[in-house]
Structures are given as C-alpha cells and as structure tokens.
Amino acid sequence: MLNFIFFLECWVETQSPLPWATRTMIALGATKGLAFLHNAERPVIYRDFKTSNILLDSVRLYGKAGPQGDETDVSTCVMGTYGYAAPEYVMTGHLTARNDVYSFGVVLLELLTRRKSFDKTRPSKEQNLVEWARPKLNDKRRLLQIIDPRLENQYSVRAAQKACSLAYYCLCHNSKARPLMSDVVETLELLQGINDGEVSSSSLSCLATSSPIPRGPVATGSALDYRIRHS
C-alpha cells in the first residue's frame, strides 16, 4: 500500500505537479476519515495524524488511534510527530480533538506548498513549514506566495485563498479557536465546488498501482458552529 509521504517524496522530484483539484480531493478524503472518528458514538482522537498515515487511491487513514470515548479530553504522554503535533499538546500533554485539527492544518500546508512539515535542506527560516507559512496565510498580498509554483496558476485563486484561510484557522495557537473537523469537511466540500476542473477517477489510481486499498467508512458533515463562508 502506498502512503502519501512516500508519494510526496517522489512527487518533489518529478516535473509534473499534482493538479490542484487532486490535492483538495486528498485533503477532503482525509478529513472525512478524521470527522468519522471524532463524531463516532465513542469519539476517537487520532493523535498522530500526518502524511505518512494517508493511504492513496481510496484516500484512507491508517495507524493506531488514540484515546476513545470519555478519554478524549485527557493528559497523556506526548506521542505526536515533530512538525505535526499541536503546540499545546507538546507543551502539556493535554489531548483533545482540536489537536487532530492542528495536525490536519500542517498536512494541508504540505498539499498547498509541496513542502514537507520539516525540511533541514532548506534555509533555516524555512525549515519549519508552519513557522514559515502561517504569517502569510492571513495576508492577502502574500498568501499566494506559498502556493506550489509548479502549478503555474492552474487553480482558482478564490479556492486557494479559502484553502489558505482554512489552514490558518486550523493552525491557531489557541486550540479553542480551531474549527471542528466536521466544519473542515464542509469547507473543503465548498472548495471542491469552486475548483475550475474536476478530478477523474484515474487521477488517484495512478498514484498507487501495487496492492488495492480497501475502502473504509466515510462520515458526512454535521451541524456546524463554524464556517469559512462561501462568498
């Protein structure tokens, strides 16, 4: 089974950029998986969400899940991956579902920028993806500077602005200001509608040609208390 981080490492070396619509489809598939866990009868915190836990083709999550049910607002030994773990979790060990939202924000940045969460090969100020990108996400004059230049403007600027805004809120230092995962799903579904092109069923199948990936359950959005509005 081919995971996304393996693909990302190969992708960085290729000449052909992954289409914008395919990137948003990967993000949407992953968030539906997280929303399913968070909205289950016994809610589950994934705890260590990262690109290496996204399986391609069907876009499915794998890996060992974290606390469940009544244990989804707890203090634990820190088990997240550097570059993806929420700052309050790293500092205190306090774990909530909003930690998964932060981790998704990092993955979304990777999709938008075609950069890794932490890359020692880059200049010192650009090695940590969040530290480099987040100040630009809320600045309309600079936010498009972080978009993968190999896309060569083959995307909707409006969709890119909303994707950057979503990443900005997911990466809020104040965990209570981050959206719920169900809200993230709805926002990404709106982005799919804004995209100029559509992704064919073969767009992802070409990324994983080895063993088939079984399809897992997919959650739909629920009542929202947060939304990046579609204007």
Per-residue model confidence as pLDDT tens digits over 132-169: 999 999 888 898 899 999 888 888 999 999 999 999 99
Catalytic status, residue 48: yes
Average pLDDT, the chain: 75
Per-residue model confidence as pLDDT tens digits over 164-186: 999 999 999 999 999 999 999 99
Cα separation values, 129 from 84, 105, 123, 132, Å: 10, 11, 11, 5
Structure tokens at 152: 């060569």
For residue 121, pLDDT beyond 80: yes
Would you kindly state where each structural domain of the chain is located, as residue ranges? Answer: 4-198
Q: What percentage of the chain exceeds 90 in pLDDT? A: 39
For residue 191, pLDDT beyond 70: yes
- Residue with the bigger pLDDT between 75 and 217: it is 75
Contact 103, 50 (CB under 8 A): yes
Work out the pLDDT band at 201, boundaries 50, 70, 90. Answer: very low
For residue 74, pLDDT beyond 90: no
Query: Among candidates 78, 80, 27, 37, which has minimal Cα distance to 189?
Result: 27
Q: What is the pLDDT of residue 195?
A: 67
Residue written as token pair 């947060």: 226
DSSP string, the chain: --BHHHHHHHHHH-SSPPPHHHHHHHHHHHHHHHHHHHTSSS-B---S--GGGEETTTTEE-S----BGGGSSEE----PPTTTS-HHHHHH-EE-HHHHHHHHHHHHHHHHH---SB-TTS-GGGSBHHHHHHHHHT-TTTGGGGS-GGGTT-S-HHHHHHHHHHHHHHT-SSGGGSPPHHHHHHHHHHHHHH-SS---THHHHTT--SS-------------S------
Q: What is the pLDDT of residue 19?
A: 86
- Residue of 48, 57, 148, 183 marked catalytic: 48
For residue 108, pLDDT beyond 70: yes
For residue 216, pLDDT beyond 60: no
CATH number at 4-198:
1.10.510.10
Lowest mean pLDDT among 66-75, 76-85, 123-132, 174-183: 66-75
